[in-house]
Amino acid sequence: MEWIDTHAHLYAEDFNGNIGELLQRAREASVSRIISVGVNGRTNPQCIRFAEEHEEIFAAVGWQPTDLDELGDEMELSPVRLKELHEQACHPKVVAIGEIGLDYFRLPRTQTDEVLRTKERQKRIFRQQLELAAELGLPCAIHQRGDGTLEDCLEIMRPLAGRIRAVFHCFVGDLQAAQAFFDLGCLVSLTGIVTFKKAEELRETIRSLPPEKIMVETDCPYLAPEPHFRKLCEPSYVVHTGKRIAGILGLSPEEFSQITSRTTRDFFPKMK
């Protein structure tokens, strides 16, 4: 049986650089591959370094919408930033552009000039990175959180339908949202949230999802699944999430692990 953690933040300070220990526990749990996902100019190179140092680690590079402070007042990624991201994305072990997207979760509901400016900057940078992914033929890992982000993400992505492949990471939406993603040729990725006691609505949605359109992730160090709820999450815990999803779908863990691993390898063609 094989599991793949499609979204992890291995550079997190919580891990204290103990990557070797994390990988050993992952191997013991049958986790064969881990994608370490960058979010800004500082973490992207770290993800690539981990991928270079460890056979089972691959990388994704991008600018997350909540990690744009490095850019100062820039409304878009500068030519220099784009060139850097382009070069990083061409690395043989970089398998995706991500995580990228939109996040209005902590923005005030009042549409002040500053709020509108923040949203516009996120949209522009999201669009730039989608276009880079289309140019390079790389899939994308999408971050989408907060009121209005679903509609805005779909509006930005529709003109690129057929040119990009994307997965909506940490999916917690309803069946309508999932179908909107599938209509664009996208997939969804599920975290330990599916094991939480208060996530029955999400579990009900999952029952209606095609197993071949689902990937699994930890988003570690966050969102540790049961039986590790509220603890520091790590790649080995993706097994708990995968097994719970299998049960929800009426599949054996072996059946679902085979399906989702095949889906993941097809989605990330650079991952060997």
State the pLDDT at residue 272: 76
Ordered per-residue pLDDT tens for the chain, 272 residues: 999 999 999 999 999 889 999 999 999 999 999 999 999 999 999 999 999 999 999 999 999 999 998 899 999 999 999 999 999 999 999 999 999 999 999 999 899 999 999 999 999 999 999 999 999 999 999 999 999 999 999 999 999 999 999 999 999 999 999 999 999 999 999 999 999 999 999 999 999 999 999 999 999 999 999 999 999 999 999 999 999 999 999 999 999 999 999 999 999 999 97
pTM, two decimal places: 0.97
* Cα separation, 141 vs 263, whole angstroms: 14
CA-wise closest residue to 271 among 23, 60, 29, 25: 60
CA-wise closest residue to 169 among 128, 127, 139, 137: 139
Coil vs helix vs strand at 97 = strand
Contact 128, 77 (CB under 8 A): yes
Q: Domain 3-267: which topology?
A: TIM Barrel (3.20.20)
Q: How far is CA 27 from the centre of its chain?
A: 21
State the pLDDT at residue 92: 98
The helix or strand, by DSSP H or E, that contains position 41, with its residue range, turns out to be: none
* Cα separation, 105 vs 115, whole angstroms: 12
State the pLDDT at residue 2: 96
Domain ranges, ordered by start, for the chain:
3-267
* Cα separation, 130 vs 141, whole angstroms: 10
| CA 146 to each of CA 65, 101, 150, 262: distance values in angstroms, whole numbers, following the listed order | 12, 11, 8, 31
State the pLDDT at residue 17: 82
